[in-house]
Structure 1
Amino acid sequence: MEDEMMDNDNEMEVEQDAEEGSSTKKQKQVYIPGVSRPLKEGEQLDFDPEAYKLFYSFETKWSCLSFDIVGEDNPSTDFPLRCYVVAGTQADKPKNNELVIMGLKDLHALEEDEDEDEDELSDDESDDGNKDKKEATMHSVSLPHYGGVNRVKAQRLGDGTVCAVWNDIGKVQLWNITNAISECSKMTKKVKEEKQIQEKPLFSFITKKEGFALDWSKLKQGDFASGDQARNIHLYRMHEGGTWVVDQKALNGHAGSVEDVQWSPTEQGLLASCSCDGTIKLWDTRSSPADACAHSSDVNVLSWNSKDPLIVTGGDDSELKIWSLKTIQFGQPVARFKYHSGPITSVEWLPQESTTFMASGEDDQVTIWDIAVEADSQESVEGIPPQLMFLHLGQKEVKEVHWHPQLEGLAVTTSLDGFNVFKTVNI
């Protein structure tokens, strides 16, 4: 696991043999991927525990492209922390896939004098029978799901929790995961526990082609939207009795696959979408589809700021762009950041602040940014935007990143080789 802190005190380090004399003492140097020279044979990247308040890694049986964090009633914000996650698998066969509800419990803070490289969610207690205070536990409850899972989005509805799922066989489904969360919360052993329960979808809608775009409305309970490779955006509305109805006519204005959709957190009925056609569009769903508002600009994945009228987007060009709703019609972002060396795979604003967001790319990097930071020529590092606060490494093919909606600064990421959950020292 490697990481990098974007300040002068805590940064990623490279170990190398000292060249002076015959000493074998190792020197440490700050290493910046894409800026520093390539690693030489025998050199390795070191995990710096001083850069993190908390860090754990964990794995599921199959890789997960998508996950969502499930909120709790009055969660404790004191260490050790607890976090519930729902994820969908990419198994070897369609019949082997699952929706997995995971309880990540006893997440302890890293001690200042911690010498270990990293903590892992453990299956067992230590060999000598003494419980390591750093150990955390993963409890999980799975639901059989036919087909690989492209995207999951969880939503609290009344006293229950429903998960919207996009799968790779062209279905948008809703699953009641209330019982699974309850079963997971009842697990109390300090070792890994797993069980499977049976559930059937509450709702299922078959589309012409599969998709990845999915989001619940923050303002209209039970409403959600999906976007697919057939260029369609479908709107789903919850009716009395816990049933859902799909609007007869889809929103159709993109020239390519709809890659992401997100509802406005402040204005009911306003939906943002983005596409592989290189555009972002705003739709007023209270109007008929033919009259829906559309503004075009360059974009691939997006996240809507809950505090200010801003949208952050990431594209195949590896750029991150900030758009103001006041000027988006002119097609010019208010800020752009070029640091990643591969297409952006995920972006999300920190829900408790208006200026901080997280992004991931196909360059295996997770970055944290603060757009309020201004350039300072005396403290700037060549090749590093001053707004880049933190660089988190160590995962392969990072697919999705999320902030915990209630535990400020707690981040979770998923990749081909598993999950990371961490909290940095500067947030």
Structure 2
Amino acid sequence: MVRSIKNRKKAKRKSKLGSSNGVAASSSSIPSVPAKVWRPGVDKLEEGEELQCDPTAYNSLHAFNISWPSLSFDIVRDTLGLVRTEFPHTIYFVAGTQAEKASWNSIGIYKISNISGKRRELLPSKPVTDDTDMDSDSSDSDEDDEGEENGGYKLPVWQLRKVAHEGCVNRIRAMQQNPHICASWADGGHVQIWDFSSHLNTLAGSEPTVSPGDSSVFNQAPLTLFKHKDEGYALDWSPLVPGRLLSGDCKSFIHLWEPSSATSWNVDTAPFVGHSASVEDLQWSPTEPHVFSSCSADGNVAIWDVRSGKSPAASFKAHNADVNVISWNRLASCMLASGSDDGTFSIHDLRLLKEGDSVVAHFEYHKQPITSIEWSPHEASTLAVSSADNQLTIWDLSLEKDEEEEAEFKAKTQEQVNAPEDLPPQLLFVHQGQNDLKELHWHAQIPGMIVSTAADGFNILMPSNIQTTLPSDAAA
């Protein structure tokens, strides 16, 4: 299991790298040498070679860091529109710190505005050259955004409200139905529920001119608190029953929280028991209000029904190592994705559980533990994965190898790109440049946008080859 950020030093910004569907992520310092895709853990940089980001790979790319690394964050649903495709964008999220001392920790409530970018053609119109620079904190923009200028680029404006939190934040989640209500897992072994409505209202009504360095730390009491027998990381709000919550700990216990009012909860002190090691992640079913799944360091994934007692309704061996993360597909509810400590991730069809083997796809691309996995909220076949190998990858399971299409693409690019032959055809995008990636989330209201956190800060990215508009029936 790979979870905590052990080296809790103040973060430093790193340059961003990326590759999109074979578009270069590495280039030589000698202009005559063609660009090629560089694979961490596989390829080595030769003398005279340097890594470069391909700017055509992104519609938008921004980076920023906070005073201490964040192991976990969650995007907060807002009222700015259900489906937003036009730049500039504004997003809200909450994040917890991993500070050196317990008393230095806080939960940050963020508003990031003036996120610039532009739509690009999937096929690059010209070769990537050595003078291409993406070390800026922003991609280029066609918008006349307000904000600080940096070498011709427009920088996003970020505002912050901080609430004191005793101990490091192992995981934080915002309720979908009432986004101002958030739950946090502390490394001291307690789960707390917070009401951040006043902070979100203040940010929503403020102009984007506040300096984040001037933000004070507010002392605020949580709405409620429950003490587990050990610390934990697993936490999930029900998407179907407002206020229903699950928390799982390193002693393998899972507790169910039921709301008794808008601001109070009853926690069942009798835990769900079925794993033989730490419960690493929890996911409610997107269609069944009483059903949830769990994964564990024992290598198993379990399916539970809260109406059927405290034992799992089904359990199966998912990986030969710790199962760190799971994600239940909300657009195709029979599909569950799992990521393991051995760097592999699998797709399970839950309809096949009775047949003894639910795995319908298994990938061994990553070389280090999987730290986060999440299905796209807009495309049923698409999911994003982060790994300790410092890669964030996006996969489209509907893709198959097409020799004719690949030959046509190579001819149009005039040999601009030398992509490895053994890349899985389902691999749609590779984002690099963040150190010690921990968690990622798709933005449910901005198609194609992903936010990720790592030891050296946050990235906001929109790959150019990810669908950014919805069919008219889906948007309705």
Deviations 1:99-155 (A, max 9, x none): 001111100115869954144279x8349xxx9562211111100111000000001
**2:340 corresponds to which residue?**
315
Deviation at 1:377, TM superposition (A): 4.8
**1:153 pairs with 173, 176, 188, which one?**
173
**1:303 pairs with 327, 330, 336, which one?**
327
**Aligned-residue CA RMSD in angstroms?**
2.4
1:190, 1:120 → 2: CA distance?
Answer: 18
**2:64 corresponds to which residue?**
58
**1:92 corresponds to which residue?**
100
2:180, 2:162 → 1: CA distance?
Answer: 15
Deviation at 1:189, TM superposition (A): 3.6
Deviation at 1:36, TM superposition (A): 6.0
Identity of aligned residues (%): 36
1:283, 1:414 → 2: CA distance?
Answer: 30
Deviation at 1:5, TM superposition (A): 3.0
**1:101 corresponds to which residue?**
109
- 1:117 and 2:140 correspond: no
Deviation at 1:278, TM superposition (A): 0.2
**1:180 corresponds to which residue?**
199
1:382, 1:111 → 2: CA distance?
Answer: 28
Contact 1:318-1:342 at 8 Å conserved across structures: yes
Compared with structure 1, are the counterparts of its residues 138 and 2 closer, same or farther at alpha carbon in structure 2 (3 Å cutoff)?
A: closer
Contact 2:170-2:187 at 8 Å conserved across structures: yes
**2:25 corresponds to which residue?**
12
- 1:326 and 2:328 correspond: no
In structure 1, stretches of 5+ residues that fail to align are 18-24
Contact 2:182-2:194 at 8 Å conserved across structures: yes
Deviation at 1:383, TM superposition (A): 2.5
- 1:3 and 2:9 correspond: no
1:47, 1:6 → 2: CA distance?
Answer: 10
Deviation at 1:241, TM superposition (A): 4.7
Contact 2:72-2:172 at 8 Å conserved across structures: yes
**2:51 corresponds to which residue?**
45
Task: Give the aligned residue type for 2:111.
Answer: G
1:28, 1:242 → 2: CA distance?
Answer: 60
**1:414 pairs with 436, 443, 453, which one?**
453
Task: Give the aligned residue type for 1:327.
Answer: L
Deviation at 1:199, TM superposition (A): 1.5
Compared with structure 1, are the counterparts of its residues 148 and 116 closer, same or farther at alpha carbon in structure 2 (3 Å cutoff)?
A: same
Contact 1:166-1:211 at 8 Å conserved across structures: yes
Deviation at 1:233, TM superposition (A): 0.6
2:328, 2:262 → 1: CA distance?
Answer: 31
Deviation at 1:381, TM superposition (A): 4.3
In structure 2, stretches of 5+ residues that fail to align are 1-14, 121-125, 140-146, 407-418, 467-476
Secondary structure of the residue that 2:292 maps to in structure 1?
Answer: strand
Secondary structure of the residue that 1:328 maps to in structure 2?
Answer: helix
2:168, 2:271 → 1: CA distance?
Answer: 24
Which structure 2 residues correspond to residues 28-427 of structure 1 after superposition, within 5 A?
28-34=34-40, 37-75=43-81, 76-110=84-118, 116-120=133-137, 125-126=148-149, 134-158=154-178, 161-190=180-209, 192-193=211-212, 194-196=214-216, 197-290=218-311, 292-299=312-319, 300=323, 301-308=325-332, 309-329=334-354, 330-377=356-403, 379=406, 381-427=420-466
Deviations 1:57-90 (A, max 9, x none): 0101100000000011133431001111100000
Q: Across the two proteins, how many residue pairs are aligned to each other?
A: 414
Secondary structure of the residue that 1:327 maps to in structure 2?
Answer: helix
Deviations 1:1-56 (A, max 9, x none): 34343435x33131232xxxxxxx45342123158641023321111110000000
Task: Give the aligned residue type for 1:125.
Answer: E
Deviations 1:292-346 (A, max 9, x none): 4022122411000001110011111211100011013413401111100011010
Contact 1:55-1:110 at 8 Å conserved across structures: no
Which shows bigger deviation, 350-359 or 375-384? 375-384
1:322, 1:94 → 2: CA distance?
Answer: 38
Deviation at 1:375, TM superposition (A): 2.7
Deviations 1:236-285 (A, max 9, x none): 00013521011131100000000000000111111000000000000011
2:177, 2:89 → 1: CA distance?
Answer: 24
1:347, 1:318 → 2: CA distance?
Answer: 12
Secondary structure of the residue that 2:46 maps to in structure 1?
Answer: coil
Task: Give the aligned residue type for 2:186.
Answer: N
2:386, 2:94 → 1: CA distance?
Answer: 20
Higher fraction of strand: 1
1:384, 1:190 → 2: CA distance?
Answer: 45
Q: Indicate the structure whose relative CO is greater, using CA pairs within 8 Å and at least 6 residues apart.
A: 2
1:241, 1:99 → 2: CA distance?
Answer: 21
> Could you tell me the TM-score, scaled by structure 1's length?
0.91
**2:415 corresponds to which residue?**
none
Compared with structure 1, are the counterparts of its residues 27 and 111 closer, same or farther at alpha carbon in structure 2 (3 Å cutoff)?
A: farther
Secondary structure of the residue that 2:159 maps to in structure 1?
Answer: strand
